[in-house]
Structure 1
């Protein structure tokens, strides 16, 4: 699979329908009229991804009160996502993109530096999509630690 084209603020968000941790289908269209934070992470139950997911979980109430829904997307299968959700008590949908079609559409599959080596994989990235489906923020190669605080600041939300 080749590296995908990156999105930028003002682009129309690629639509998707993916299975969640319970095997239910979730579409971006289900959230039309709402603001959505879609974040891509490399793998459930790894240290960085767990830290990031728990950070979103812990900030979910304040994000929701500001009008934001949160969706996590990885290449993990729903059964692994279910274990991740239960283990970490995650209260937002975790979506499975095993064939990487959505990753490619959002430009989050490509080359990255991992422990000094160039590898192809998931670029930890976050997108804020407005009520009309337009990308408001496209943040690539974000750090797991402190990401939600940084995102809140960019969105003008109180610390």
Structure 2
């Protein structure tokens, strides 16, 4: 998992969103950002997490918090996921693994005894100055928003 720690400067990135627009972390300076990493579009845990952020999105926005989801799926996959579940926030298509590697969430996984490389689920809360305020390594997919809000007080 990540060697990044709370208090570190969050690694900058420049990557395409679901619509092919370039998104950078620095464009959110002055806002809190929930940067959440998930393994794959439209799988049960990832859908539960995305829908939890969707259902609480207006409340997060009211607190000045922006939500960005990151997976290594491509733009087309993200578009389908957004449409199917009416997701109101941006999904970043990290197809070259730039962000997952910078944040240390790309690593060996194990499913049914089979080892493979993939994205480890994690959430980074980034403050208005671009520093990592909190790192959630054990994400509760059905209560992801509550986990974030609990840390922010």
Look up the SS of the partner of 1:146 in the other structure.
Answer: helix
Tell me the equivalent position of 1:130: 127
Instruction: Kindly indicate whether the alpha-carbon contact (under 8 Å) linking 1:16 and 1:102 is maintained by their aligned counterparts in 2.
Output: yes
Change beyond 3 A, Cα 1:87–1:143: same
Instruction: Kindly indicate whether the alpha-carbon contact (under 8 Å) linking 1:123 and 1:141 is maintained by their aligned counterparts in 2.
Output: no
CA distance in 2, matches of 1:147, 1:60: 11
Deviations 1:6-43 (A, max 9, x none): 21100000000111111111111110111111001001
Tell me the equivalent position of 1:51: 48
Instruction: Give the TM-score taking structure 1 as reference length.
Output: 0.90
Deviations 1:32-72 (A, max 9, x none): 11111100100111111111001001111111111110000
Mind listing any 5+ residue stretches in structure 1 that lack a counterpart?
none
Aligned length: 153
Instruction: Kindly indicate whether the alpha-carbon contact (under 8 Å) linking 2:53 and 2:144 is maintained by their aligned counterparts in 1.
Output: no
Tell me the equivalent position of 1:149: 146
Instruction: Give the TM-score taking structure 2 as reference length.
Output: 0.93
Q: Per-residue deviation at 1:141?
A: 4.1
1:60 maps onto 2:57 in alignment: yes
Tell me the equivalent position of 2:77: 80
